[in-house]
Chains A and B, each alone.
Chain A
Amino acid sequence: MTGPLLSIRDLHLTMTSFDGAAHVLNGIDLTVQRGEIWGLVGESGCGKSLTGLSISRLVPTPPATYRKGEIRFEGRDILKLPLREMQDLRGKRIGMIFQDPTTNLNPAYRVGEQLIDVALAAASHDPSVLGCPPGAGRRERRRAARRLAGEMLERVGIPDAGARLDNYPHEFSGGMRQRVLIAMALIGRPDLLIADEPTTALDVSVQAQILKLLKGTVADHDIGVILITHNLGVVAETCSHVAVMYAGNIVESGPVSNVIESPAHPYTRALMAAIPTKASKRGTLKGLGGTVPNLITPPPGCRFAPRCPLAIPACTAALPGAVDLGADHRAACIRLEALEHV
């Protein structure tokens, strides 16, 4: 076995705005292997999307600056790649799916056309995607791309796929559009798929179908997935691993079963307690006062300390390092012993 598919080490990202520089990613560590589905959870604004976008290097710089750290994709540091080589990763090695299926397809083109464009772009990097002989002409490549597009639509569960290629995005339902986007993300045969809240905009039954589809894809193609979500229920059902983020840090990570059965970090515990039930409103953290800290002047030391029921003065002294709890389960907290007695 070679090195990991993706490994993010100590990634720091600042965003410059009129109010000053916000330290939105504050030392992210994350390792993804093939076959793993990583759930990335945390409150709104904690930096989940920026982490995902950074992997495809889609965060505009400026206003963003990467101050420290590296993102290694199969060992190569993405942040240092020339744009040309980055272009060869996007859509071909790293696929992305975003939240809103209504706005992520171009309204002016048929979905087939959009799928074909991605397939042709992927084929310019790896001709075998289309399954054409090397010397194939433009028309032949296009025809192959169209055939592939039809196959992909079929694979993501769109009925009558071949005919649907000629439909415009507005002629699909939300769930079907998200399927089209998944097909588009997969058509270049990526090894890593980043899905940023792919089901948030969909209703619950469709959500379950889409997640099942993602899970099936991982099993079929042995790819790695990062699934960004607000919903711990989704994580429990879909993911193999989970990373909990708070204000630009990953505070706890590990296999889903370990983290969910025995959450170590006080923030994870608060999140678990806040899993929306019919009684509680989504997004409110039970037993947790205060709000997400201002990232321009973040609190010293552990960023969660001001809201933490177990905080002691030492918590504000330095950013806590990750403590290994065995079986790849890690938590960044200096009060873990105290927690065990709560």
Chain B
Amino acid sequence: MLYFILRRILMLVPVVIGLTVIMFAIARILPGDPVALAAGPNATPAEIEALSHEFGLDQPIWTQYFHYVGGLLHGDLGTSLLTRRPVAADIAAYLPATLELVCAAMLIAVAIGIPLGLATAVWRNRWPDYLSQVVAIGAISMPRFFLGLLLQLCFAMWLMWLPLGGRLPIIVIPPPTVTGFLTIDTLLAGDLHAFTMALRHLAMPAIAMSLSPLATIMRMMRASTIEVMGQDYVMTARALGLPRGKIILKYVARNAVSATLTVIGLYFGWLLGGTVLVETVFDWPGLGLYATKAIVSQDMMPVIGVALVIGLLFVLANLVIDLLYGVINPKVRYS
């Protein structure tokens, strides 16, 4: 088990090397001068030179690369030209927002997708099943940012039920940071008012992000439920008189969920890397927004840092899923 985890983490090494090499190569190929951009329109050539020297950007690319990798070993992700702060600190500040958004989206997707998939499989080929299949295909094919815009139009502009964007209104004092998840930190601080505010801000972006994983999880769950219901052990359970509800909720559901877990893990990683547009639409101060700003100003260190962190989280998410899979499915536990 420990060996299993270690091996998975070791697999990250080539990923990190590949990613950093590619990003450095891109930084070199891209036209334009990020230092000049960062120094501002009124900077003199001497000032630009000084800034370039300060960030080591006047050194040969190889030196820069090895310097960067050396820093990585100490958890140093370099310094942002734009914010002039260590990238690691920036990421630590922006990451919780993104994680909170993605977790909320996945929570919605799993909490609705799993039961819905189970239900549509049990009552398959009746109208609720067909309806949900059609809606699911629509949800999968709709771009998330577009859905976000629609939600904003409907719930923020017309109905005015929910705020347009951001994480908290300016007038609400943010709770002391514990987890970085505002919904959790406000609860920990016992501030119910701030909690509802945080939840209301989270609702729309999370729903916008959740729809396509929800639809995929639902379809996957439906397919695996149908497959499991055809298994011999379900026939045996029926033949021996177990109540239908127990067969479905206990005997079928567990096996079907374990087949769906992989999709959940993949989607988690995929959402992490795909928050940019939704964060932009909802002005959600997360990694996506941070990375976009960095890309626009050709500030490479944050971009590489964000890519690395997302890659790491992706691998971690799949590791957790694999471990969970072992919990649900005893057969794979020791192998």
Contacts of B232 in A (CB 8 A): 98, 100, 103-104
Contact partners of A181 in chain B: CB under 8 A: 236
Whether the pair B240, A118 counts as a contact (CB closer than 8 A) is yes
**In chain A, what residue has the closest Cβ to B329?**
A108
Question: With A104-B236, A168-B331 given, is the CB distance from A91 to B241 under 8 Å?
Answer: yes
A101 to chain B, nearest CB (A): 9
B238 adjacent to A109 (CB under 8 Å) = no
Q: Report how far A122 CA is from B237 CA in the complex, Å.
A: 12
Task: Check: A225 CB closer than 8 A to any chain B CB.
Answer: no
Interface residues of B in 239-285 (CB under 8 A from A): 239-243, 246, 250-251, 254-255, 258
If A98-B235, A168-B331 touch, whether A107 touches B240 (CB-CB below 8 Å) is no
A interface residues, how many (CB within 8 angstroms): 30
Chain B residues near A117: list those with CB within 8 A.
Answer: 237, 242, 246, 250
Q: Is A40 an interface residue (CB 8 A)?
A: no
B44 within 8 A of A: no
| B231 part of interface (Cβ distance < 8 Å) | yes
Cβ A56 vs Cβ B239 within 8 A: yes
Question: Which of A58, A87, A104, A109 contacts B243, CB < 8 Å?
Answer: A87
B240 touches A170 (CB 8 A): no
B233: Cβ under 8 A from any A Cβ = yes
A181 vs B239: C-alpha distance in the bound complex, in angstroms? 12
Judged by a CB distance under 8 angstroms, whether A245 is at the interface is no
Report Cα–Cα, A107/B232, bound state, in Å. Answer: 11
**Residues of B within 8 Å of A, CB-based: how many?**
22
Of residues B239, B246, B254, which shows the largest number of chain A Cβ atoms within 10 Å of its Cβ? B239
Residue of A nearest to B253 (CB): A108
Cα A87 to Cα B331 with chains together (Å): 31
| Contact (A91, B242) CB under 8 Å given A107-B331, A108-B328 | yes
Does A96 touch B at the CB level, under 8 Å? Answer: yes
- Residue contact B231 to A103, C-beta cutoff 8 Å: yes
Bitwise, A119-162 to B at CB < 8 A (1) or not (0) is: 00110010000000000000000000000000000000000000
Cβ–Cβ contact B240 & A103, under 8 A:
no
Most buried by B among A98, A108, A185: A108
A107 and B330: CB pair below 8 A?
yes
Interface residue from A87, A105, A168 paired with B233 (Cβ < 8 Å): A105
B236 close to A184 (CB less than 8 A): yes
Does B239 lie within 8 Å of A91, measured CB to CB?
yes
Asked if A92 is at the interface of the complex by the 8 Å CB criterion, the answer is yes
* A255 touches B (CB below 8 Å): no
Report how far A95 CA is from B239 CA in the complex, Å.
Answer: 7
CB neighbours of B251 from chain A (8 A) = 106, 108-109
Instruction: Tell me the residues in window 213-250 of chain A with beta carbons closer than 8 Å to chain B beta carbons.
Output: none
A121 with B331: CB separation less than 8 A: no
CA distance A96 to B234 in the complex (A): 13
Partner of B240, one of A88, A108, A121, A168: A121
Instruction: Name the A residues within 8 Å of B240 (CB-CB).
Output: 90-91, 95-96, 118, 121, 184-185, 188
Chain A's closest residue to B246 (CB) is: A117
Asked if B241 contacts A108 (CB within 8 A), the reply is no
Q: How far is the CB of B330 from chain A (nearest CB, A)?
A: 4
**Residue contact A107 to B239, C-beta cutoff 8 Å:** no
A56-91: which residues lie under 8 A (CB-CB) from chain B? 56, 58, 87-91
- Are the CB atoms of A90 and B238 closer together than 8 Å? yes
Q: Which of A87, A96, A170, A188 interacts with B236 by CB under 8 Å? A: A96
Residue ranges of B at the interface with A (Cβ–Cβ < 8 Å): 231-233, 235-243, 246, 250-251, 254-255, 258, 328-331
Known: A95-B239, A168-B331. 14 other contacts (CB 8 A): A58-B239, A90-B239, A91-B242, A92-B241, A96-B236, A104-B233, A105-B236, A107-B330, A107-B331, A108-B255, A108-B258, A109-B251, A121-B240, A188-B240
7 A-B pairs with the lowest CB-CB distances in the bound complex, closest first: A91-B241, A90-B241, A91-B240, A96-B239, A103-B232, A106-B233, A168-B330
